[in-house]
């Protein structure tokens, strides 16, 4: 993996999702430090991952490794109280970029956010968001998934 450059927005309105890929995701955080690093477990449909992220803001380092279901199930209890459930829709934007639209469930319902990943920071800064994107929350730490894992929707909306 390496470096990720992405921007995150609240959702103003739902786009047509008929052509979007759909994944059901549950993720939990093994660690919850305040220095910008995190260790996360994620199940996306029938795939399992351990991800380490470091840094803050739009550009961060990310390292991911695939786990077996058994490895995931062994570690999952360590995430109790620091979890997120969501359905992710992945689709295309004009100009060749992709979006990931997350519709949160459980304690975060009815929150919905959309993220776009970029090849470089200049592209991220020059991005002109479609009308259905809402407020840019890229730099708002309350909307990082590790913060959402211990938040409630009514505290954010």
Domains of the chain: 2-155 (2.40.320.10)
pLDDT of 10 over the 70 cut: yes
> Catalytic: which of 29, 89, 99, 143?
29
**pTM for the model:** 0.87
Which residues neighbour 63 within 8 Å (Cβ) at sequence distance 6 or greater? 1, 2, 51, 52, 53
How far apart, in whole angstroms, are the C-alpha atoms of residue 79 and residue 31? 8
pLDDT of 33 over the 60 cut: no
- Rounded mean pLDDT, 102-131: 95
Q: Regarding predicted confidence, which is higher, 31 or 143? A: 143
Is residue 29 part of the annotated active site? The answer reads yes
How far apart, in whole angstroms, are the C-alpha atoms of residue 142 and residue 155? 9
């Amino acid at each position: 993996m390496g470096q990720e450059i992405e921007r995150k927005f609240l959702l103003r309105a739902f786009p047509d999702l008929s052509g979007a890929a759909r994944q059901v995701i549950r993720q939990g955080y093994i660690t919850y430090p305040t220095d910008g690093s995190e260790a996360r477990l994620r199940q996306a449909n029938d795939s399992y991952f351990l991800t380490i992220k470091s840094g803050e803001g739009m550009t961060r380092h990310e390292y991911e490794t695939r786990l077996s279901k058994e490895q995931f199930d062994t570690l999952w209890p360590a995430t109790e109280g620091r979890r997120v459930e969501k359905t992710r829709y992945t689709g295309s934007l004009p100009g060749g970029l992709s979006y990931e639209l997350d519709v949160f469930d459980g304690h975060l319902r009815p929150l919905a956010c959309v993220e776009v990943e970029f090849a470089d920071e200049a592209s991220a800064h020059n991005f002109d968001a479609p009308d259905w994107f809402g407020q840019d929350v890229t730099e708002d730490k309350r909307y990082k998934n590790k913060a959402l894992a211990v938040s409630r929707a009514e505290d954010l909306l």
